[in-house]
């Protein structure tokens, strides 16, 4: 198959007569605090017929009743256990490259099945500006990380074969819908906290009244009410702008901390929620149109589960017998799990 226009353009960019050499300087890298937290707290499972299951409980039957002398006593038979289930999903990403492309980059590949044996030409530095091979591998690494991050923030509707992410579980309107097999409409304890335009109304920030700050403090008490310990506060730029306006109206940040007198030097500092942690800027929320939102998450009860041996598993498929094309792939098998909802919250500022 002939090279495509895009492949030719890529080769031209990498093998120009003279240019500033080195790998392409990335222009759009962003922090991914949610994905970093999920990767740090992920768990494993061994397999199964297609679901990860767990039992949960929110109602209790047994209780005291008064009695006297020979009153007939009552006994209960508790049956309140419920089961939640999450289908595990398989994800794949991969790259391909032709031997012709690599030759033009000064790299020869021996005629092996998977193209693992490569050698670089002795004078390839005379024509190479950037390594095509290194660039393709970098594209795969960064591209897969971006994709997993996007999926983790999603609601599962973009790709029905992928796993549902944060927005499927921490909903703007948590009073309806089925999550992991339980109906939130009838199961009141299977709901996240929410103050958004779809649930209770967005929070109107006010520097004079400190409305946003005070509301968040009240919400933290509710998030901890049933044993929750939220430690992730992930917010979009718009939300942080409004929060900072409230906080700074009562003082300002200096190089020695937050104060309301005595200095004219302004520095940078994190805004902290007592007993929870620091607010973190989550660029992805800006990217997906949720700049005015903040998610408060307990990582003990919302996490990734990956199948043993299937976490970013590398593959080097054999090349087709009739094409000089090399393939490299990566697969991931697992799901996002939430086993308690009332310890997470989503808040919209306006």
Looking at per-residue pLDDT, the higher value among 20 and 292 belongs to: 292
Kindly report which listed range (10-19, 158-167, 203-212, 319-328) carries the lowest average pLDDT score. Answer: 10-19
Q: Which tens digit of pLDDT belongs to each residue from 123-173?
A: 555 444 457 778 888 888 899 999 999 999 999 999 999 999 999 999 999
Closest CA to 250 of 280, 209, 215: 209
Closest CA to 133 of 11, 3, 4: 11
**Cβ-based neighbours of 194, under 8 Å, separated by 6 or more:** 170, 171, 172, 173, 174, 200, 345, 346, 347
Domain range annotation of the chain = 82-348
Report the pLDDT averaged over residues 294-314.
95
Report the chain's mean pLDDT, rounded to a whole number: 86
% pLDDT > 70, the chain: 81
Q: Is the pLDDT of residue 78 over 50?
A: yes
pLDDT for 25: 66
Phi and psi torsions of 190, nearest 5°? -100, 55
Q: How confident is the model at residue 254 (pLDDT cuts 50, 70, 90)?
A: very low
Report the pLDDT averaged over residues 99-128.
65
pLDDT for 15: 55
Q: Is the pLDDT of residue 185 over 70?
A: yes
pTM of the model: 0.83
Kindly report which listed range (112-116, 187-191, 241-245, 252-256) carries the lowest average pLDDT score. Answer: 252-256
Q: Which tens digit of pLDDT belongs to each residue from 195-248?
A: 999 998 999 999 999 999 999 999 999 999 999 999 999 999 999 999 999 988
Report the pLDDT averaged over residues 82-89.
95
Q: CA–CA separation, 111 vs 116, rounded Å?
A: 9
Q: How confident is the model at residue 307 (pLDDT cuts 50, 70, 90)?
A: very high
Q: How confident is the model at residue 265 (pLDDT cuts 50, 70, 90)?
A: very low
Centre a 10 Å sphere on the Cβ of residue 161 and count the other Cβ atoms it contains: 10
Report the pLDDT averaged over residues 92-97.
91
Q: Is the pLDDT of residue 118 over 50?
A: yes
Structure tokens at 159: 């790709």
Measured between alpha carbons, how far is residue 285 from residues 50, 153, 218, 289 in Å? Answer: 31, 8, 24, 6
Alpha helices in the chain (DSSP H): 5-14, 33-41, 99-104, 132-153, 166-169, 211-223, 237-248, 283-287
Q: Which residues of 179-209 are buried (b: 16+ CB within 10 A; e: fewer)?
A: bbebebeebeebbbbbbbebbeebbebebee
Q: CA–CA separation, 67 vs 47, rounded Å?
A: 51
Report the pLDDT averaged over residues 257-265.
47
């Amino acid at each position: 198959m002939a090279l495509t226009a895009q492949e030719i353009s890529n080769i031209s960019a990498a093998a120009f007569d003279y240019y500033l050499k080195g790998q392409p300087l990335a222009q759009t890298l962003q922090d991914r605090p949610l994905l970093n937290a999920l990767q740090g707290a992920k768990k494993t499972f061994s397999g199964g017929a297609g679901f990860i299951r767990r039992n949960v409980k929110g109602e209790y039957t047994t209780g005291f009743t008064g009695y006297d002398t020979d009153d007939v006593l009552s006994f209960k038979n508790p049956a309140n256990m419920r089961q939640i289930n999450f289908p595990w999903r398989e994800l794949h990403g991969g790259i391909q490259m032709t031997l012709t492309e690599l030759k033009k980059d000064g790299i020869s590949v021996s005629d092996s099945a998977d193209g693992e044996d490569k050698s670089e030409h002795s004078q390839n530095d005379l024509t190479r500006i950037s390594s095509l091979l290194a660039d393709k591998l970098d594209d795969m690494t960064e591209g897969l990380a971006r994709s997993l991050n996007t999926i983790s923030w999603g609601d599962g509707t973009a790709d029905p074969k992928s796993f549902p992410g944060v927005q499927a579980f921490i909903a703007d309107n948590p009073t309806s819908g089925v999550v992991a097999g339980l109906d939130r409409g009838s199961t009141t304890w299977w709901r996240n906290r929410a103050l958004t335009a779809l649930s209770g109304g967005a929070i109107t920030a006010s520097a004079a009244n400190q409305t946003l700050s005070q509301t968040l403090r009240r919400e933290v008490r509710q998030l901890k009410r049933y044993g929750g310990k939220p430690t992730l506060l992930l917010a979009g730029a718009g939300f942080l702008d409004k929060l900072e306006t409230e906080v700074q109206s009562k003082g300002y940040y200096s190089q020695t901390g937050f104060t309301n007198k005595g200095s004219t030097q302004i520095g940078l500092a994190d805004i902290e929620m007592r007993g929870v942690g620091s607010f973190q800027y989550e660029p992805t929320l800006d990217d997906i149109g949720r700049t005015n939102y903040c998610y408060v998450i307990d990582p003990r009860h919302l996490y990734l589960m990956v199948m043993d041996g299937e976490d970013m598993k590398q593959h080097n498929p054999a090349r087709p017998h009739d094409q000089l094309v090399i393939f490299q792939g990566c697969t991931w098998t697992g799901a996002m799990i939430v086993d308690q909802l009332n310890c997470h919250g989503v808040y919209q500022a306006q």
